[in-house]
Amino acid sequence: MPADPWPLPRNATVADHIVQRLACWGVRRYFGYPGDGINGMTSALQRTYQQAQFIQVRHEETAGFAASAHVKYGGGPLGAVLVTSGPGAIHALNGLYDAKLDHQPVVALVGHTALTAEGGGYYQEVDLLALYKDVAAAFLAQLDHPSQVRHLVDRACRTALARRTVTALVLPLDVQDLAAMPNPPHAHGYYHTSSVPSSGPTVPPEADVRQAAEVLRGGERVAMLVGQGAIGAENEVREVAHRLGAGVATALLGFTVVDHREPWVTGAIGLLGTRPSWQLMDECDRLLIVGSNMPYSEFYPPAGQARAVQIDHDGTQLGLRYPTEVNLTGDAAPTLRALLRELGPGPGPTRWRQTIAGATAAWRQAQHELAAQDAEPVNPQRLFASLNDRLPDDVMLAVDCGTTTAWYARHVKVRPGMLASLSGTLLSMGGAMPYALAAKFAHPDRPLVALIGDGAMQMNGVNELITVAKYWRGWADPRFVVLVLNNRDLAFVSWEQRSTEGTPMFPDSQQLPDIAYHRWADVLGLRGELVDHPDQVSDAWDRALSADRPTVINALVDPAELMMPPHFTAEQARKTAAAILRGDTDWAGIIRRGLPSVVTTYRPRRTTP
């Protein structure tokens, strides 16, 4: 058996034992908020403060998001959430669902009413086993006796890692302070479990890999779609793409897998994706999906057009989005290496790759032109294009849900060495600040940029800036830049209403208060920048990325800036026009920014070098 990370004292409690046992699995950082339902656990962390760290956020939802992001940014193999009973447990759910839907291993430790009071209608008493039944469906248990610590912690951690999901332990208050039982008796009804992680990467059978190679080798127009499951297989993805002469599109969670400066990388796929990614899928005759479960079926090739192969470590995720011909259950890197052995030499330069490169270059030029266009007062795309030119090689990016996602996907060329993530499947607003905090705690010596809309900033960003103010002096690199796109509008939803419902923007629902976010930063002892003119954009980024403390850039941007989908349908155009005719309050802005966007995005362009 492996040695314990530190010896338990003779008077150790159940909580002490939980903290020690979790450390065996690599858990050394907990995100949470204190409360009397977890007093035993916070006391244990206080006693082991040199071995384990408690990060106090402003809200338990942040703790859930941050635990998910802790794994995404490489902070450790497991994320950990520690929250109190009742309201604390309820608050944490949204962030925990982010981890579940994005397949991140997280263990939730949830305080509960004392055993002696359960069932009596005690303060904050909630049926936590029922409440957490879905989010922690893979493993959920209540710890009622000291002898259970070993096997419940081991099973929670092993399950979270093996299934890449959320597990949860409910901890009654009085049990946390009972005397620890690190070595249960060798007797009936007790368990002696292992804290050794399970075996490593898996590879599909050789015959299946050979069949996949035969399917892919016959293609003249090969497309690849990579997602977060391909993270760690960057070299293999690049080599397979070269062997097949393929173009590569990326799901947002897989952005860091490829170098977005390459001519064969078409960028993001889906509603916020690029036109060359849409063209790649629309014209391909072979498709290789690696570690992605992107759900927009209309952005895959038409059924029957392309023969397809999919690779995923979870066999239940295979063949869900496209009628694949060969499904390979295995980890991306070793499976792709096995595939390379079967593929043989590549085709060399092909007309298909020239077409991809031409379409990608034309799209990038169009985006550059869009970002340079004037708006009132500032074009939000200009901020992202300007940032892209200044990104440090080791930057970490945290992106929120909304129009920021669109501009990030189209203007930021993530390259090797960078880290970037977002709430990819839950698509929850308010994820970027928790992600940014987790990334910074994982790598305090690296610069960070958080890209946030004003809606998300008002949800939890303004509060979590207090967390930044609390901790930033302990970071080796103090650069923590928060860009707030302040357009006083929940712009993404406003555009959805126009293009899918044909209804005007509803001011009562969509308009937001105009907040001086840069002044709030000043109040907290951070730096604030106001950008209300396009000439200020470049200098604001330069100052923020060289500052000696965290900086908030309050950018007043045009709410009418149009997010053109890669394939704008006649129905979407008709409904947007209907919204204007029905008296949209920003009709003038839509016309002002819509016409240049359409002309720039869709005008005929040369697509071959």
The residue type at 601: T
As a whole number of angstroms, the distance between CA 590 and CA 577 comes to 10
What is the model's pLDDT at position 510?
A: 83
pLDDT of residue 606 exceeding 70, the answer is no
pLDDT of residue 604 exceeding 70, the answer is no
Q: Which residues pair with 448 in a beta bridge?
A: 396, 480
**Nearest Cα to Cα of residue 89 among 146, 38, 46:** 38
What is the model's pLDDT at position 55?
A: 98
CB burial readout 425-447, b (16+ within 10 A) else e: bbebbbbbbbbbbbbbbbbbebb
The pLDDT-based confidence of 345 (bands split at 50, 70, 90) is confident
What is the model's pLDDT at position 179?
A: 97
Region 276-292: what's the mean pLDDT? Answer: 97
| Lowest-pLDDT range of 47-61, 342-356, 556-570 | 556-570
Q: Which CATH class is domain 14-177?
A: alpha beta
What is the model's pLDDT at position 587?
A: 46
Span 474-493, pLDDT tens digits: 999 999 999 999 999 887 77
Region 177-182: what's the mean pLDDT? Answer: 96
Region 595-607: what's the mean pLDDT? Answer: 51
pLDDT of residue 396 exceeding 90, the answer is yes
As a whole number of angstroms, the distance between CA 361 and CA 69 comes to 33
What is the model's pLDDT at position 453?
A: 96
Residue 311 sits at the vertex; the CA angle it makes with 305 and 314, to the nearest 5 degrees, is: 125
Fold match between domain 14-177 and domain 373-602: yes
Span 494-537, pLDDT tens digits: 666 766 667 776 778 788 999 999 999 999 999 999 999 999 99
Region 287-306: what's the mean pLDDT? Answer: 94
Q: Are 357 and 257 in contact (CB under 8 A)?
A: no
What's the topology of domain 206-358? Rossmann fold (3.40.50)
The pLDDT-based confidence of 333 (bands split at 50, 70, 90) is very high
What is the model's pLDDT at position 608?
A: 43
Report which secondary-structure segment, H or E, holds 289.
strand 286-290
pLDDT of residue 164 exceeding 80, the answer is yes
pLDDT of residue 57 exceeding 90, the answer is yes
Region 243-261: what's the mean pLDDT? Answer: 97
What's the topology of domain 373-602? Rossmann fold (3.40.50)
CB within 8 A of 407, min separation 6: which ones?
Answer: 380, 381, 383, 384, 451
CA dihedral 205, 210, 216, 217 (to 10 degrees): 160
Domain ranges for the chain = 14-177, 206-358, 373-602
What is the model's pLDDT at position 607?
A: 45
What is the model's pLDDT at position 569?
A: 56
| Lowest-pLDDT range of 126-130, 224-228, 438-442, 568-572 | 568-572
As a whole number of angstroms, the distance between CA 184 and CA 302 comes to 59
Span 42-53, pLDDT tens digits: 999 999 988 999
pLDDT of residue 571 exceeding 70, the answer is no
Region 71-80: what's the mean pLDDT? Answer: 97
What is the model's pLDDT at position 599?
A: 47
What is the model's pLDDT at position 50?
A: 87
What is the model's pLDDT at position 573?
A: 52
pLDDT averaged over every residue in the chain: 91
What is the model's pLDDT at position 201?
A: 81
The pLDDT-based confidence of 433 (bands split at 50, 70, 90) is very high
Pick 50 or 310 by higher pLDDT.
Answer: 310
Span 439-458, pLDDT tens digits: 999 999 999 999 999 999 99
Pick 117 or 388 by higher pLDDT.
Answer: 388
Region 69-84: what's the mean pLDDT? Answer: 98
Burial class (CB in 10 A: 0-12, 13-18, 19+), 45: buried
* SS3 labels along 474-495: HCCCCCEEEEEEECCECHHHHH
Query: In the chain, pLDDT over 90 holds for what percent of residues?
Result: 81
